[in-house]
Structure 1
Amino acid sequence: MKVLKFGGTSVANQDNIKKVKQIVVRESGGAKIIVVVSALGGVTDLLLEAANKAANQDENYKEILFSIEQRHINTVKGLIPVTSQSKVLSYVKRELNSLETLLEGAFLIGEITPRLSDKIVSYGELLSSYIISEFFIAEQLDCIYKDTRTLIKTNEHFGKALVDFKITNSNCENYFGTVSYNIVVVPGFVASSHTGNSTTLGRGGSDYTAAIIAGAINAQVLEIWTDVSGMYTANPTLVKQAFAIPKISYEEAMELSHFGAKVLYPPTIQPVLSRQIPIHIKNTFAPDQSGTLIQKSTDAKARPVRGISHIENIALLSLEGSGMVGISGISKRLFEVISLARINVILITQASSEHSICIGITKDQTARAESAINDEFEYEISTGKIEPVIIEENLAIIALVGDNMKSHQGLSGRMFSTLGKNNVNIRAIAQGASERNISAVINSNDVKKALNSLHEEFFEENIKQLNLFVVGVGNVGARFLSQINQQKKYLKEKLKLNVRVVALSNSRKMIFNEGGLNLNKWEEELQKGEEANLQSFFNKVKQLNLRNSIFVDNTANEEVAKTYELYLKNSISIVTCNKIASSSDYDNYLHLKNLSREYNAPFLFETNVGAGLPIIDTLKNLIASGDKINKIQAVLSGSLNFVFNNFNDKNPFDKVVKQAQDEGYTEPDPKIDLSGVDVMRKILILARESGYEIDIDEIENESFLPQESLETKSVEDFYKSLTENKSHFDNLYKEAASNDCRLKYVAQFENGKAKVGLQQIPKDHPFYNLEGKDNIVLFYTDRYTDQPLIIKGAGAGADVTASGIFADIIRIGNF
C-alpha cells in the first residue's frame, strides 16, 4: 500500500488536479493508494486572512469569502461533468455556508479563538479532498472519500495539536485494513480531538498527515508530490546552481527540513522512521524526474556535506552578566521560563566562561521572550549582576548538513573561511557532538551571498564564480570585455572560474543584470541603460551583495578613484588601470592598502605600470622574499617610447603624437603622457611598492615640453602648441643624433629620490634598442647588484592593458 501526498501547488487548479489523477493512476499499479491532499494553493492563507479581518470587524472578509467560494465552484465546474455537478456543488455550498456562519460569529464578537481558527482553516483541505475524490469517481476510478478527523485523534492544543498515536494507529489499521476501494482520498492537515473538535497539525501538516497514516499501516512507501524535484543542495530560488539530492538519510532530511527546506514539513519523518518506510519526494509537474529518496542509510562515499539550508527572520537573545559565572541553575531558569512562555528555541550557544547564554528564536516571539526573561531575572538585573536581555534582529541561521561530516576534518574551517572571504559576519555558532550539522547566525542581508558562496565551495567542483562590475568601456574596457567573452569557456573548463560581468557603466549610462550581461550585445544594452552615477552604481553593487564581487576601473578618472574606499570597506575587490589612487597622497595610498588587508579585498593595479607586463607582481615577490630594492631605472611610457622611436627629421613631432593617440597608446589627453606626469605616477608607484614613503611632489621632473605647451587648457590647444614649436622638437632630435644617441624618456629611483626626464641614450645602454611601444625596467637589489633584473615588453596599448586587467582578475580568482 502506498501513501501519496499532494501539496497546494499540485492541486491549485483544475489543470493541476488532472495531472494528479494521471500520477495516481500510474502509481497504483494494482496496489491500494491513499491520496492525501492539501487545500487548493493559497486557500489556507485566504481563510486565515478572512478570519483575522472578521475578528477585527472588517467587512472585507466577505470579499475574501466570495473569492474562496468562486475558486471552489469554478474548480468543480472544470472537473466534474455537468450531469454529476449538482451533488458536488450542493455539498460545497453547504460547507461554505457553514464557514460563512463561523466568520459571522467572529465578526459579531470581535475576536477569534484558537479553537475557532482551527475550525475555519480546516475547510480548505475538507473541500479540496472532497472535490478531488468526486473527480476521481467521475473519471471511473475505484475511489472513496474518508474524513481524517475520524481517524487521527489529538489533544486540544489548537493550531498545532499533538497526536494520540495509540488511538490513531488503531483507527488507521482498522479502516485501511478493511476498505475495499483501490483509492482512498483524505484531507491533510486536519484532525479532531477526543471530544470531537476540529484540530490542525500545524502549517505544512498535510505532510504529517500522510506520514502518520503511512506509519500506522506500514506502507510500502510515502510519496510527497510537490512543485520541485526533490530536496535540493540549497534553496534553488536563491542558488541557481543547486541540484536535487538523489538519496539522503532520515537524519539528514530532518536537519534540512528543520533549517528551512520547505519541501518537507519537519515532523513528517518521525512516524515513518521507526518502521524504516522510505519517503520519496517527487515533482507533480515533472513526474519522470527521479526526485529525492529518503531512507535509512546513504552511500558512505557520498559528499560529506549533503545540503545547505537556512532559516530567516531569526532573533538572538543574549543573557549576560558577571553574576552568572559559577552560579548553578541559571540555564535551568532561563529555559524553563522560555518553555512556559511557549517559545521554541532554534539555536543555543554558551561561552565556556559562563558569562553569557545566547539563544535563537523566531522574530515574532521576541517581545514575549524579552518580557518573560526580564521578569524572571528581575532581581539579578536590579542588582547589576545580570544585564537586561540583549536582542539582535534581522538575522538568519545558515547550516551545513551531512551524515559524513563527522569523518571529515576541516569542514568548519572551510565554512567559516568561505564566509569570511565574502564579508559575511558570523554572530553565533552551534555544532552538535554528532557533527551532522554546523550552524551559524548571520545578517539576513547576507543570506543569498552566504548560500551561494558555500554551495560553490562544497558542491560545484571548485568552480568559483567571479562577479564583475565594470566602469569604463572605452578602448581598454571594450577590449577587456571582448577578451572575457572569448575566454569564458576556457576559464570555466581549465581554471574553474565562472566569470560574469554583472554591471557596466560609461560616463553617460549604466546597466545591471544579476544573472550576467550578454557580452555579444553589451553596447546596445548599455545605450538603453539608466543615467550613470558613481554613488548609485556603488549602492547597487552593495545592494546586490554578490559573492566574489570585483570592481573593475578601466578609466583615468579621479572621481572614480575616490570611490575605491567604499568598495574595499564592503569587501569588494578592486582591479584598476587607473593610476590616480595609487599615486595620490601617500596617506590615501596607505589607507587603501590597509583597507584591502582589513576587509580581505584584493586591490590590484598591475596595469598601472607597464600595462600587461608583470612589473608590480615581480616587485611584490622580490619584497615578499626578503630582497631590497636599491635602484630602479626604467622607460615606463610606452606612448613616449613610441613617439620618440617614430619621431625623426621626416616625421614631425606633432604628427607622431597624434598617431600615438589614435592607436590608443596615450591617455585621452596626451599632455598627461608628454608632460611626464604619467611617468612620475608610475615611478612613484614602483617606489611605494618597494617600501618607500614618497609623494609625487618629491619627484624631480625635467620636462622637455615648452612652457606654453604645458600651460594649454585643451587637447586642441596642446596640439597647436606642438606644431608652433616644431623647431624646438627638431633640435632635440638633431642634438641626440649628432651624439649618436637615441631619445628616451627615463624614470629613475635611487637613495629614496626619484626623477624623470628625456635623456640621450648611447648605443651600449640597455635602453638604446627599445623599440615601438615597449617598456623596460631594471631592478637593482641586494640580490641583483651588478646585473639588474630586467623586465621588458609591450607597455602600452588597449589590448595589452586589457590583458593585464584580465590577469589581475584571474589572480583574485585563484586567491
Structure 2
Amino acid sequence: MKILKFGGTSVANAINIKLVKNILQKNEGTKIGVVVSALGGITDLLLVTLELASKQNVNYRNSFNEIEERHLSTIKKLFSVTTQSSVLGKVKAELNDLETLLEGSYLIGEATPQLSDKIVSYGEILSSFIISEYLKVEGLDVSLKSGRELIITDEAFGKAAVDFERTNSICENYFNSTVHKITVVPGFVSSSHSGKATTLGRGGSDYSAAILTAAINAETLEIWTDVSGMYTANPKLVKQAKCVSYISYEEAMELSHFGAKVLYPPTIQPVLQKSIPIIIKNTFAPEDEGTKITKNNNDQGKTVRGISHVNNITLLSLEGPGMVGIPGISKRFFETMSLEGISIVMITQASSEHSICVGISDIDAEQAVAAVNKAFTYEITTNKIKKVIIESDLAIIALVGDNMKSHQGLSGKMFSTLGRNNVNIRAIAQGASERNISAVIRKEDVKKSLNTLHETFFEKNIKQLNLFVMGVGNVGAKFLNQIKKQRKYLQEELKLNVRVIGISNSRTMAFNENGISLDDWQNFLADGQKANPNKFIKIVKELNYRNSVFVDNTASDIIASSYSSYLNSSISVVTCNKIACSSEYSNYKELKRLAKQFNAPFLFETNVGAGLPIIDTLKHLIASGDKIKKIQAVLSGSLNFVFNNFDNNTSFHDVVKQAQEEGYTEPDPTIDLSGVDVMRKILILARESGYELEIDAIENDSFLPEESLKTSSNEQFFESLKKYENDFQKLYQNAVQKGSKLKYVAQFEDGKAKVGLQEIPENHDFYNLDGSDNIVLFYTERYANQPMIIKGAGAGADVTASGIFADVIRIGNF
C-alpha cells in the first residue's frame, strides 16, 4: 500500500481534480490512501474571513461568498446536472455551519485558537468530500475517512502534537480492515482525545500524509505538487535549475528548511524513522521522474545537492563587553526568544563571546527587539551590553549536501563566487554536520546569488556573461553581429554563455531580462524607451545580474564619466572610448582602484590599436618585471590611411572625407587630424607603462592650420581643408623629394611624450606601413637594441569590434 498526497495547486479547481483522477486510475492495482489539501488558496481565505469577522468587519461576508462560490462552481464543473444535487446539498449544509461559526465570531468580536482550528478545517473537509464523490461517479472504488477519526492530538490548538501510539493503532486497524481500493482523507485536520477539532499547523497536509504512511508502514509516500520534484535551486529564479533524481532525508530537510517549498521539514520525521521513501511528483507532468527521497541519496559523487534560500530575514545582534566570560547570557537570550514563540532560523556567535547574532523572520523583529531589550534592561542601563542591533531586508542563502563535509574548499569557493559579484555577506553559519553552509545577504541579491552559485556548482563550468551595450552604431553593430555568429563556439569551446540584456543609442534604449534576440535587435531597440544614461545605469543596477559587463562603444565624455558608477557596483567595464583613460591621472588611477576593490575588470584594449594586442602585451611585459625605456609608434589608423592615400592626384579634403565615410576616423575628424587622438593613445601607453603623465604635458606638433583646428562643425572643417589644399600638397612634395613618406608619429621616452607629422625614410620600420595599419615599437630593458614590434590593422569597425569582443572574453575567463 502507498499514500498519495495532493497539494492545494493540484486540487485548485475542476480541471486539476480531473488530473488527480487520471493519476489515481493508473494506480488501480494498488491499495492507496489519498490525502488532499483544501482547494488552492482556500485556507488563506478562511483565515482572512475569520480575521475580518473577529474584528466585526462586515466585509467578512464578501470573503465567505467567495469561499462558497469557489466550491459550488467546482462541483458544477465536475458533476453532471443529474449527479450534482446530493453533493451540492451536503456542501451547502457544511457551508451553512461555517457561516454560523463566522457569524458568531462577528457578534462577539473574537476568534479563539479553538474556533480558528474548527473554521480553517473546513477547507480540507469540503475538498475531500467533493473529490471523493467525484471519484465515485467516475467509477473508482473510493471511501472517505475523516482525518479527525484517524489522527489524535493534544489540545494545543493551531499546532497540535500528535499522540502517535493512539494514532498508529487507529490507522493500522482502519486500513487493514477497509475493503475499498482508495481511501480519501482530508489533510491538516485532526481531533483531540476529547473529540475537539484540532489542526496540525503549517504544512499540515504533508504531515498528515507522513503520519498515515508511517502508521501503516506504507511502501512509499508520494507528494504530488506543481513542480517535478526538488530542484538544484528555485526554478522560478534559476532557469538552469535541474530536478534532483535522488536525495537523502537530511538533504531534503535542509533544503526544505531553507525555502524549498515542495516539502515542509516536519513532514519527513515520521517516515524518516522507518526509512520509507518519499517521492515528489508533478500533478501537471505525471510522467516526469520526480525526486526520490531515501536514507541514502544514491548519488554519492555529488557534493552540493542544492542551493536554497529564505527571504524576509532580520538579523538581531546582542553584543557588549559584559557578555564575555559571563555564564548564562546565551541561555537568557534564547529563553527570551522561546518564551515569545519566536523561531530562530540561524545562529552565529563570536568565539570571543562578545556577541550573539541570530536570524529571525521579519514579522517577528519588533517583538523580538522589545523582549530582548526588556530581558537585559540591567545590563543595557549599566553599559555592559548594548541595545539590540537589527538589520532588515535580508535573506539567507544556503548550500546543502551530505558529501560537502568530505570536500575541502567549498566555503571558500562559495564566498569567493559571491564576492566576485559584489554580494556582501552579513553573517555565516555552518552546522557541525557540515551538511549546510549558510550566509546572510541582502534580499535584492538573492536572484543574482542563486544564479551565480548554481553556475559555479552545477553548470559544468559554463559561465554566463550579461552585457549592457551603450552605442550600437558602426562599431557596436559589428560587435553584436560578432557575438551572434560566435555564440555556439563560445558555449562549446570556451564555456561562455554571452547574453545581451540592454542596448542603447543616443535616442532609445531597451532591455530584455531574458536576453535580447540578436536577429532583430534593431527593431527591438526602435521600440524601446527614450535614452537616458543615468536611467540606463539605474536599470543595470536594479537588474543586479551576475557577471554584468558594461560595454561602451561611444566617444562620449558623459558615458566615460559613468564608469566609476558601474565599477563600484562590481559591474565590469569594456570600452573603446579613450576619454576616461586619458582624462586626469587621478581619475585614471581611481578607475583602476575601483576595478581592483570591487573585483570588476576595467578593460580598454581598443583604446590603442583597435584590435591589436598592444595594451595586453604591454601589461605582460610590466608584469614579468620588464621596464619600458622608449615607445615609438604610428597609432592613428585614420591618419595613416589618409597619408597613405594622399598624393598629388588626390585632394587632402577628399581623402579625409573618405576616411570618415569608411569609419576610420572619430565622428568628429578633428579629433584624429589635430593629433588629440594620438596624444590620448600615447598617454595611455605611458600610464600603462607605470608613468604619471597628463595630456597637457605632451608636445603636439600639429600640421593642421589654426583655422581648421578652430572650426565648430564638420562642415566648416572640411571647407577649411579645401582652402589649405596647397599647404597639404607642399607637405607631400617635400617628403617625396627626400624619398620619404609622411607618418604621424608618437614617441615616449624619459618620461616625456610628443606627437607630430614626420618624414619617414625608406629604411625605417614605419616606411612600409600600409592602409590604416598601426605599428608600435617597445624598447625595454630586455628589448634594448631590437624592439618588440606589434603591427597590424589599427582602425575600422570590424577590428575595433573584435578587440572589444576579445576584452569581453577576457572577462569571461577572469
Q: Which band: TM-score by shorter chain?
A: over 0.9
1:233 is aligned to: 232
Letter in 1 for 2:271: V
Kindly provide the CA deviation profile for residues 297-356 of structure 1, in whole angstroms up to 9, marking residues without a partner as x: 023533100000000011111010011111111111111111111111111101111110
Q: What secondary structure does 1:199 align onto? A: strand
1:520 is aligned to: 519
Counterpart Cα distance in 2 of 1:303 and 1:535: 44
Counterpart Cα distance in 1 of 2:428 and 2:685: 44
Q: Work out whether residues 647 and 656 of structure 1, in 8 Å CA contact, stay in contact via their aligned partners in 2.
A: yes
Letter in 1 for 2:22: Q
1:289 is aligned to: 288
1:378 is aligned to: 377
1:802 is aligned to: 801
Q: What secondary structure does 1:732 align onto? A: helix
Q: What secondary structure does 1:680 align onto? A: helix
Runs (4+) off by over 4 Å: none
Superposition deviation, residue 264 in structure 1: 0.6
Q: What secondary structure does 1:63 align onto? A: helix
Please report the RMSD computed on the Cα atoms of aligned residues, expressed in angstroms: 0.9
Counterpart Cα distance in 1 of 2:54 and 2:541: 43
Q: What secondary structure does 2:509 align onto? A: strand
Matches within 5 A, 1:312-323: 312-323=311-322
Matches within 5 A, 1:652-667: 652-667=651-666
Counterpart Cα distance in 1 of 2:27 and 2:262: 21
Kindly provide the CA deviation profile for residues 519-569 of structure 1, in whole angstroms up to 9, marking residues without a partner as x: 010001111100000011011001000000000000000111111111011
Matches within 5 A, 1:210-609: 210-299=209-298, 301-609=300-608
Q: Work out whether residues 43 and 68 of structure 1, in 8 Å CA contact, stay in contact via their aligned partners in 2.
A: yes
Counterpart Cα distance in 2 of 1:72 and 1:502: 45
Q: What secondary structure does 2:744 align onto? A: strand
Q: Does 1:28 align with 2:56?
A: no
- Calculate percent identity across the aligned residue pairs: 69
1:60 is aligned to: 59
Counterpart Cα distance in 1 of 2:95 and 2:288: 38
1:625 is aligned to: 624
Q: What secondary structure does 2:344 align onto? A: coil
Letter in 2 for 1:343: I
Superposition deviation, residue 195 in structure 1: 2.4
Counterpart Cα distance in 2 of 1:195 and 1:697: 93
Q: Work out whether residues 80 and 134 of structure 1, in 8 Å CA contact, stay in contact via their aligned partners in 2.
A: no
Letter in 2 for 1:539: K
Letter in 1 for 2:7: G
- Of the structure 1 ranges 1-10 and 191-200, higher mean CA displacement relative to structure 2 is found in 191-200
Counterpart Cα distance in 1 of 2:597 and 2:83: 73
Structure 1 portions without partners, runs of 5+: none
Counterpart Cα distance in 2 of 1:299 and 1:746: 69
Kindly provide the CA deviation profile for residues 410-444 of structure 1, in whole angstroms up to 9, marking residues without a partner as x: 11111000000000000010111211100001000
2:133 is aligned to: 134
Counterpart Cα distance in 1 of 2:424 and 2:158: 36
Kindly provide the CA deviation profile for residues 679-703 of structure 1, in whole angstroms up to 9, marking residues without a partner as x: 0000000001111111111111000
Q: What secondary structure does 2:356 align onto? A: strand
Q: Work out whether residues 575 and 805 of structure 1, in 8 Å CA contact, stay in contact via their aligned partners in 2.
A: yes
Q: Work out whether residues 318 and 357 of structure 2, in 8 Å CA contact, stay in contact via their aligned partners in 1.
A: yes
Q: Work out whether residues 319 and 390 of structure 1, in 8 Å CA contact, stay in contact via their aligned partners in 2.
A: yes
Kindly provide the CA deviation profile for residues 208-252 of structure 1, in whole angstroms up to 9, marking residues without a partner as x: 110010000000110000110000000000000001000111111
Q: Does 1:759 align with 2:772?
A: no
Q: Work out whether residues 610 and 636 of structure 1, in 8 Å CA contact, stay in contact via their aligned partners in 2.
A: yes
Matches within 5 A, 1:593-742: 593-742=592-741
Q: Work out whether residues 300 and 404 of structure 1, in 8 Å CA contact, stay in contact via their aligned partners in 2.
A: no
Counterpart Cα distance in 1 of 2:548 and 2:57: 49
Kindly provide the CA deviation profile for residues 99-133 of structure 1, in whole angstroms up to 9, marking residues without a partner as x: 11111122222232222222111111110000000
The number of residue pairs the alignment matches comes to 814
1:11 is aligned to: 11
Counterpart Cα distance in 1 of 2:301 and 2:5: 28
Letter in 1 for 2:220: V
Letter in 2 for 1:763: E
Letter in 2 for 1:381: I
Letter in 2 for 1:686: L
Matches within 5 A, 1:40-59: 40-59=39-58
Kindly provide the CA deviation profile for residues 371-404 of structure 1, in whole angstroms up to 9, marking residues without a partner as x: 1111111111110000011111111110000011
Letter in 2 for 1:558: D
Letter in 1 for 2:425: I
Superposition deviation, residue 201 in structure 1: 1.5
Superposition deviation, residue 159 in structure 1: 2.1
Superposition deviation, residue 84 in structure 1: 2.5
Q: Work out whether residues 54 and 103 of structure 1, in 8 Å CA contact, stay in contact via their aligned partners in 2.
A: yes
Q: Work out whether residues 246 and 299 of structure 2, in 8 Å CA contact, stay in contact via their aligned partners in 1.
A: no
Letter in 1 for 2:531: A
Matches within 5 A, 1:16-165: 16-29=16-29, 31-165=30-164
Structure 2 portions without partners, runs of 5+: none
Letter in 2 for 1:26: K
Q: Work out whether residues 203 and 267 of structure 2, in 8 Å CA contact, stay in contact via their aligned partners in 1.
A: no
Superposition deviation, residue 81 in structure 1: 2.9
Counterpart Cα distance in 1 of 2:445 and 2:113: 36
Counterpart Cα distance in 2 of 1:653 and 1:337: 86
Kindly provide the CA deviation profile for residues 241-273 of structure 1, in whole angstroms up to 9, marking residues without a partner as x: 001000111111111111100011111110001
Superposition deviation, residue 25 in structure 1: 1.2
Q: What secondary structure does 2:93 align onto? A: helix
TM-score where L is the length of structure 1: 0.99
Counterpart Cα distance in 2 of 1:299 and 1:127: 40
Superposition deviation, residue 510 in structure 1: 0.4
2:178 is aligned to: 179
Counterpart Cα distance in 1 of 2:723 and 2:110: 92
Q: Work out whether residues 470 and 551 of structure 1, in 8 Å CA contact, stay in contact via their aligned partners in 2.
A: yes
Counterpart Cα distance in 2 of 1:494 and 1:268: 45
Kindly provide the CA deviation profile for residues 48-88 of structure 1, in whole angstroms up to 9, marking residues without a partner as x: 11112212222111111111111111111111232222221
Counterpart Cα distance in 1 of 2:195 and 2:650: 104
Letter in 1 for 2:147: T
- Of the structure 1 ranges 373-382 and 52-61, higher mean CA displacement relative to structure 2 is found in 52-61
Q: Work out whether residues 81 and 138 of structure 1, in 8 Å CA contact, stay in contact via their aligned partners in 2.
A: no
- Of the structure 1 ranges 106-115 and 341-350, higher mean CA displacement relative to structure 2 is found in 106-115
Superposition deviation, residue 98 in structure 1: 1.1
Counterpart Cα distance in 1 of 2:231 and 2:9: 18
Q: What secondary structure does 1:84 align onto? A: coil
Kindly provide the CA deviation profile for residues 187-208 of structure 1, in whole angstroms up to 9, marking residues without a partner as x: 0111112222222222221111
Q: What secondary structure does 2:47 align onto? A: helix
Counterpart Cα distance in 1 of 2:477 and 2:56: 63
Q: Work out whether residues 424 and 442 of structure 1, in 8 Å CA contact, stay in contact via their aligned partners in 2.
A: yes
Q: What secondary structure does 2:499 align onto? A: strand
Counterpart Cα distance in 2 of 1:387 and 1:746: 67
Letter in 2 for 1:73: L
Q: Work out whether residues 610 and 795 of structure 1, in 8 Å CA contact, stay in contact via their aligned partners in 2.
A: yes
Counterpart Cα distance in 1 of 2:812 and 2:531: 28
